[in-house]
Amino acid sequence: MRDVLLVSYHFPPHGGKAVQRASKLAKYLPEFGWRPVVFALPEKQRKVPMDPTLLDELPGGLEVHRPSYFDYRRVLPGEIRKLLPRQFPDRYRPWSEKSAPKLASLVRSSEIQAMVTTSPTHSTQLLGLRVKRATGIPWAADFRDPWSSDLRFGDRPGEEVMRSLETDVLEEADAVVGVFPRILRDFEDRAEPERLYLIENGYDEDDFEAVDWGAPPLEQDVLTLGHNGTVSDNRDPAPVLNALRRLLASESIEPGSIRAVFTTAPAGRKRFAGFEDLLEAGMLEVRGYRPHSPSIAELARLDVSLLLLTQGEAIYPAKLFEYMRLGNPILSVSKPGDDLHELIASHDVGMVVDRSDEPAIAEALLELLESKSSGNLPHLRPDLEGIRRFSRRDIARRYAELLDSISSG
């Protein structure tokens, strides 16, 4: 058994989507000969969802380092924060700079043979770069999102700085991992093909233990759509909710015949302001944050898994693979013709509708309602053989092979 340093800004008991990549690697890598040593942010953080249940699935005796860190900017009044210089690539850069000597010291004083840094936050990659330069440790830079090509950064002051920092990481990492093809396409001009690896996000079979696979849908006479996770500019519920309004206004459906259920953290609730009419009509339900496994079990009782990608393109939202494992039809409100569309179509797990075409979204909802009414809507019928490569265990196996490769020299 060899040791691998796993650097992630968030880690259980922090909850939410940001912890899944690191926590699942920590869980399964030991099966393939690599024992993780985790380096993460201190547990107590403002505005970070907590899910202590995630601790239960981590290996016993897991070594976790959480050096103290205080971000003075967070306690300053907003008016003063606006006057401070912008941090590149993000506001977590001071954490990266302060942590680098501690992390390098940990590498030198231990038997750690490889390092994985997973982002966002992209300051995690700068931390990896500093430790790589200080120690020479074999390093895999793992990207769960684009960096300089992110829509939030383009055409803004500092874009060139972002790309320069990103290029430094790409040139010095021994391996560059992307969770969907577009990330790697962004990097092709700055990293050799043999250093680029596609290792997607995925699903963990253990997260589905609470699912009652023999249970019928929760509602027999109502089409229910479920969305688990963040709502934001990139994952905006408005196109779907406006399509529901369109159907009501045209009297194409009865009030309450379709209900969209969103399970999301409190910060996302503002996205539903202005849709009180749908709430009153029983066509919209907003639930608070749930621990990961129970939220999947609740989603399983609904009819359709709703996937939102209302900005950007060619992105694989992490929840996609859990939706595929559930086996309910997926309604993806995104951009037709991109990598996401191709993946959904190739596995025949649902339909993709143009996020900018509300009439088309309304038509898709009608089609799903008709399938439900006629008894032709599949429920909990996953293609286990077809999606097995997306299991978190198989992803850890592929990651272990990568670590074997970069540490063998």
Tokens of residue 357, six digits = 């075409």
Burial of 163 (0-12, 13-18, 19+ CB in 10 A): middle
CA angle 364, 241, 19 (to 5 degrees): 95
Residue 138, class by beta-carbon neighbours within 10 Å (0-12 exposed, 13-18 middle, 19+ buried)? buried
pLDDT of residue 297: 96
Q: Identify which has the larger pLDDT, 226 or 51.
A: 226
pLDDT at 45: 67
Cα(177)–Cα(197) distance, rounded to whole angstroms? Answer: 5
Domain 206-383 part of CATH 3.40.50.2000:
yes
Average pLDDT on 187-210 reads 96
Q: What is the pLDDT of residue 41?
A: 84
Lowest mean pLDDT among 129-133, 155-159, 226-230, 335-339: 155-159
pLDDT score at 244: 97
What is the DSSP code string of 179-233? SSHHHHHHHTTTS-GGGEEE----B-GGGGTT--TTPPPS-SSSEEEEEES--SS
Split at pLDDT 50, 70, 90, the class of 6 is very high
Range(s) of the chain covered by CATH 3.40.50.2000: 2-202+391-407, 206-383
pLDDT in tens, 359-390: 999 999 999 999 999 999 999 999 999 999 99
Structure-token pair, residue 81: 């924060």
Amino acid 48: pLDDT: 73
pLDDT higher than threshold 90 for residue 238: yes
Local confidence band at 152 (pLDDT 50, 70, 90 cut-offs)? low
Calpha distance 309→236 (Å, rounded): 7
**Which residue bears the tokens 């490889």?**
114
Burial class (CB in 10 A: 0-12, 13-18, 19+), 129: buried
CATH assignment of 2-202+391-407, among 3.40.50.1220, 3.40.50.2000, 3.90.1010.10, 3.40.50.720:
3.40.50.2000
Residue 308 above 80 pLDDT?
yes
Chain mean pLDDT for the chain: 92
Q: Is the pLDDT of residue 342 over 60?
A: yes
Q: How confident is the model at residue 157 (pLDDT cuts 50, 70, 90)?
A: low
Q: Output the pLDDT for position 86.
A: 77
| Model confidence band, residue 113 (pLDDT cutoffs 50, 70, 90) | very high
* pLDDT tier for residue 267 given thresholds of 50, 70 and 90: confident
User: Is the separation of the CB atoms in 399 and 29 below 8 Å?
Assistant: yes
Query: Within a 10 A sphere around the Cβ of 184, how many other Cβ atoms?
Result: 18
- Where residue 209 falls among pLDDT bands split at 50, 70, 90? very high
Q: Which of 84-93, 155-164, 283-292 has the highest mean pLDDT?
A: 283-292
Write the pLDDT tens digit of every residue in 14-56.
887 789 999 999 999 999 999 999 999 888 766 677 888 889 9
